[in-house]
Structure 1
Amino acid sequence: MRSLLVTGGAGFIGSNFVHHVVAHTDAQVVVLDKLTYAGNRASLAGLPEDRVELVVGDICDETLVDSLVASVDAVVHFAAASHNDNSLHDPRPFVETNIIGTFSMLEAVRRHDVRYHHISTDEVYGDLELDDPEKFRESTAYNPSSPYSSTKAGSDHLVRAWARSFGVRATLSNCSNNYGPRQHVEKFIPRQITNLLDGERVKLYGEGLNVRDWIHADDHSSAVLEILRSGQIGETYLVGADGEKNNKEVVELILGLMGRPSDDYDHVTDRAGHDLRYAIDASKLREELGWSPSYTDFEEGLAATIDWYRENEAWWRPQKAATEAKYVELGHA
């Protein structure tokens, strides 16, 4: 792969992947990003201009997408509307971006016979009971519970249909919850960190017993690159790092690492339809492609993430006030 188109490459996970590709390959990278509130030019700062080009545009713009896809060897499609709270408040952008945008990408790679990898989420599978010994596998039935997860499920089905019906050279991955640098402050972990940096208190939905399977964004990036290189066309791979923690445990870890009492947080109104537990079985990825995570100690990765936000206030500060105002509007302040 001499050249890649990375959609959503100025967002959290997408920008991390661009940094990873530059560090571990010789490929040229074109980033297509609409630069909505979740995209940030600063997330691409420091990357070599002769290897990374940012194109500001919409994945629903079929003419633009077609011209970019025609010039690359492969596409990695990260671009998505992704915040559950926002999807409950206004579902329309999720339908437009996640379904119509994916359709636009698939038609372009179909026309130009370009390799395509689709980034998805474990949330398409719904949730598990807290005491369920099972984990999500590639064969788990879809059961999405929010406008966000249902539109991601719809986009996954489009990818599989285009691969089967039209021979699109596609792979697909569903990943668990990511954490790490350059994540928007609306998300759970950076919101808590930046609240504490501002001298505010941590906010915890409900009782905080909901379980997420955490993976560092660097490990997600290495998994995607490995799938792109070696994954079998038409296959789905689940990406996870055995990082199950409930939200209360994560909050208490953040408080401890930042020198605050473990009970120094406020309970806020729980999210409607809040999924109980996500858990990933990444055996297929590990056994078939030989991938393994580098961040096996969640507390260590969390400490490094806290350090990044402490040292990069100029990156997150412009987002903070508007984000907290939005949470007030949604009743989760």
Structure 2
Amino acid sequence: MTSGRPRHGRPNGRPRLGIAMPTNRIRLSGRAVRSLLTELGRAGCESLWVNDHLGAFASGGDAYPYSSSGDVTWDVRRPQYEALTSCAFLTAAAGTMRIGTSVLVLPQRHPVEVAKATATLADLSEGRFVLGVGAGWSRREMAMLGWDPATRGRRLDEQLALIRSLWRDGTAVGASGSYAVPDDLVHEPRPHPEQRPPVLIGGMSRAAQDRVIRHGDGWLAVTPGAADPLNRAGEELAGLRARTPRPLAGVLKIALPEPDPAAAVRAVEQVRSHQWNDVSFEFDHWDPDAACAVVAACRTTLGEESPCPIDRSL
């Protein structure tokens, strides 16, 4: 645990300021991403977040939980870049920025594969990688990949315990449940303890929040930029921190229709007293210059106070 942190893990300092990368919005190239990262760094960006889907469907068929209509808020025909591959590129190109998944749909991947990939990212990023995970909402996607969506919550709990065991001990002796992992499996590299990725549990449901208490170093919330949902998320973060004596990070992703600096500043002013460790913005419509303007405006609003960390508490 980090010393000097108040009881219940409430952070000292301002939140880090981040951007959700447009990895499901536009066609990217290495040159374009490097140029964008340079401009975001100049504007004061401190974290980059990548979402995760391995498949999308032209006819829909799933209820998207983060829109009032149940429809996704992006064009599924646009590119969707693989999350961990994107994070690997960003760790090499983004200087000192933190890189995280927001979120990785863990129940549609094998935990040994994820443990290996994220341990690799922990070493190569020198401790800047953050693993945000969730149970997922697309049943069609999960079933297509060969996993039963009906068991995703239970399997997510098993996966988190197994990944932590592999990171910590390099073995999975005694593992049971949905994943048959031999006792003599050797998992290397193991992340250095001080570089072990913090695990954030994403989701707005009660089940997700209970999972934060059992398995998470923190909670990753997603809300629109209006005052009421922002305030509710802040209240729920305070409630989670009151349920455990250990430090509990709070990471907030604010979804805006477009990169509007005035709307982003209003949102930051609304949440600055809620003691989030990181506040990032995701835009339905991507404009790189406007995204940089959002970061610059919000950094001015937040001031020069040192940013608070995201602790590893488990």
State the TM-score, normalizing by the size of structure 1: 0.31
Higher RCO (CA 8 Å, separation ≥ 6 residues): 2
Tell me which protein shows more helix as a share of its residues.
1
